[in-house]
Chain A
Amino acid sequence: EVQLLESGGGLVQPGGSLRLSCAASGFTFSNYAMSWVRQAPGKGLEWVSVLSGGSATTYYADSVKGRFTISRDNSKNTLYLQVNSLRADDTAVYYCARHSGNFGKGFDIWGQGTLVTVSS
């Protein structure tokens, strides 16, 4: 079964850091670009960052550029998001999602999400 499983969320103070993980199974992880997408409580979806299968290409949303770093370990079938200098408006459920067809054709597989709460 194709599956993504996020972990690493939690409660963190403003200015703090976390590392989110996304464990993939059931497909050849290195063949797919992967993204992080977040959703603030009661709000819509916001794309955060993408990393190509071989880690050569990456993009970030302006709202997180310079604070978040995406990476992957294809030997462990795991995607990461290092989130630093956290702010209250970073509070959200963070989903990892697989790109269907290189970078195109939408996100065909999603994890269940991990909640990051930024609060003092």
Chain B
Amino acid sequence: EIVMTQSPATLSVSPGERATLSCRASQSVSSNLAWYQQKPGQAPRLLIYDTSTRATGIPARFSGSGSGTEFTLTISSLQSEDFAVYYCQQYNNWPRTFGQGTEVEIK
């Protein structure tokens, strides 16, 4: 099983600032990496797939990069609606696995 490790666990950011979230895979997942956003009481929402492709309707302030085992989600200028938990997920191998999440909180 591929273990996905996210860092940091919690990121404190002020509105308008940049947020950088990291995700590491225990073995290469090529570019088969997605990012999700989850707000309290809601289902996750797909933000990014194939490492860097934004899903339908996702604002351009969200961007993804990386390959192999190291990946990054960047939120260029945090808006109030962006404070949430973010998960990475690999779909290179079965079982599909998620990182443990990074909570982006208001500083």
Interface residues of A (CB under 8 A from B): 35, 44-47, 50, 59-62, 95, 100, 103-108, 110-113
Give the A-B contact count at a CB cut-off of 8 A: 62
> For B50, what are the chain A residues with a Cβ–Cβ distance below 8 Å?
105
* Count of interface residues, chain B, beta-carbon cutoff 8 Å: 25
**Contact yes or no, B95 A113, CB < 8 A:** no
**Contact yes or no, B96 A47, CB < 8 A:** yes
> For A113, what are the chain B residues with a Cβ–Cβ distance below 8 Å?
43
Given A104-B32, A105-B34, also A47-B95 (CB < 8 A): yes
B46's contact among A60, A61, A100, A104, by CB below 8 Å, is which? A100
**Which residue of chain B lies nearest to A110 when distances are taken between CB atoms in the complex?**
B43
CA distance A76 to B32 in the complex (A): 31
Interface residues of B (CB under 8 A from A): 1, 32, 34, 36, 38, 42-46, 49-50, 55-56, 87, 89, 91, 94-101
Q: How far is the CB of B29 from chain A (nearest CB, A)?
A: 11
> For A104, what are the chain B residues with a Cβ–Cβ distance below 8 Å?
32, 91
> For B98, what are the chain A residues with a Cβ–Cβ distance below 8 Å?
44-47
**Contact yes or no, A105 B95, CB < 8 A:** no
> For B89, what are the chain A residues with a Cβ–Cβ distance below 8 Å?
45, 47, 106-107
> For B97, what are the chain A residues with a Cβ–Cβ distance below 8 Å?
47
**Contact yes or no, B55 A62, CB < 8 A:** no
Given A108-B55, A111-B43, A113-B43, also A45-B95 (CB < 8 A): no
